[in-house]
């Protein structure tokens, strides 16, 4: 089996090699122009964000399996793969703690206003103070706040554990437009109106694309914090910007954008705000999580090879 790994630089740790006999070809990255030539003789493709559609399947007549080193599979035309008999495999739950830690770190930064306090040190405000400390910015304690989690998978569950350890009340928010509210959940509207922090962990689909726009954000509790470590297109960036600028939102943390990497003139890159944290899709990226995603991806390849040798 000829295995081709198209994007090795998307991981900071090397992939282990399959145990079954194979030929291995690895590229640090692959452009659209390079793609067809590189996959022409591949039996198994290992990818992260490279897009595979009908044209790519036609260019890879030997292809039998696509293994993603990721959970999301929206970059692969799964219907076309099924029609061709190509197995598509992803990796789930490889690092829920990593993403949840990042979300919790953002919540702490924004509730304790760490970036703003640091700015007051460097602009001379602390040095000019009459007293030993500053009381410029109001802060709330986490044990007086409610976290709402939209998306009840492993990451949301891990974040709930972290938040409860800090004394936060935690609620799970039902999907928008749900005909009934599941046991242990609050309605979407109740979550918007009552949660001090809302963290997004839901998939991107036709129902959730652009969900947090002007209308939904306007229904959020004044001063609430919005955290998105899921998919960038869940939120509308102009709406986020407007809500922060009028102080309806108390803070925003985005680890994902709609285009990655974003152009320099992307709204969330070119605009800065002291209560807006933007990080480069790195919530998942602890070394242990990256090792896990590689180990699980190659485990799936080994299982496929064992079944098809």
Retrieve residue 148's tokens.
């709402």
Contact 229, 201 (CB under 8 A): yes
Distance CA 55, CA 53 (A): 6
CA angle in degrees (0–180, nearest 5) for 80-86-91: 100
Q: What is the DSSP string of 50-94?
A: --B-HHHHHH-TT--EEEESSS--TTB-HHHHHHHT-EEE---SS
**281, 295, 303, 307: which one is catalytic?**
281
Q: How far is CA 299 from the centre of its chain?
A: 23
Catalytic, 281? Answer yes
**260, 266, 275, 295: which one is catalytic?**
260
Measured N-to-C along each axis, helices 287-308 and 96-111 cross at an angle, to the nearest 10 degrees, of 160
Nearest Cα to Cα of residue 290 among 99, 28, 160: 99
**231, 245, 266, 287: which one is catalytic?**
231
Distance CA 256, CA 26 (A): 27
**Count of C-beta atoms within a 10 Å radius of residue 248:** 15
Distance CA 194, CA 190 (A): 6
Cite the active site residues: 231, 260, 281
């Amino acid at each position: 089996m000829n295995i081709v790994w198209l994007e090795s630089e998307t991981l900071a740790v090397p992939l282990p090699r399959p145990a079954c006999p194979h030929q291995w070809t690895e590229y640090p990255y692959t452009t659209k122009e390079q793609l067809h030539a590189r996959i022409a003789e591949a039996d198994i493709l290992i990818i992260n964000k490279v897009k595979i559609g009908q044209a790519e399947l036609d260019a890879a007549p030997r292809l039998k399996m696509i293994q993603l080193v990721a959970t999301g599979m929206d970059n692969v035309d799964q219907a076309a793969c099924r029609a061709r008999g190509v197995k598509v495999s992803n990796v789930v739950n490889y690092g829920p703690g990593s993403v949840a830690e990042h979300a919790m770190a953002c919540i702490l930064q924004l509730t304790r206003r760490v970036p703003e306090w640091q700015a007051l040190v460097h602009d001379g405000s602390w040095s000019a103070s009459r007293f030993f400390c500053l009381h410029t910015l109001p802060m709330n304690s986490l044990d007086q706040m409610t976290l709402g989690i939209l998306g009840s998978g492993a990451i949301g569950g891990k974040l709930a554990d972290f938040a409860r350890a800090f004394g936060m009340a935690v609620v799970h928010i039902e999907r928008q437009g749900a005909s009934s509210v599941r046991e242990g959940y609050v309605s979407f509207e109740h979550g918007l109106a009552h949660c001090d922090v809302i963290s997004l962990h839901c998939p991107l689909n036709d129902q959730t694309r652009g969900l947090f726009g002007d209308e939904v954000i306007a229904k959020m509790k004044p001063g609430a914090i919005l955290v998105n470590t899921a998919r960038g297109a869940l939120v509308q960036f102009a709406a986020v910007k407007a809500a922060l600028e009028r102080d309806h939102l108390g803070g925003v943390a985005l680890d994902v954008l709609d285009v990655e990497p974003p152009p320099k003139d992307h709204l969330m890159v070119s605009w800065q705000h002291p209560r807006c944290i933007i990080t480069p899709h790195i919530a998942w990226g602890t070394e242990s999580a990256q090792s896990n995603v590689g180990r699980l991806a190659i485990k799936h390849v080994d299982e496929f090879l064992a079944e098809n040798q």
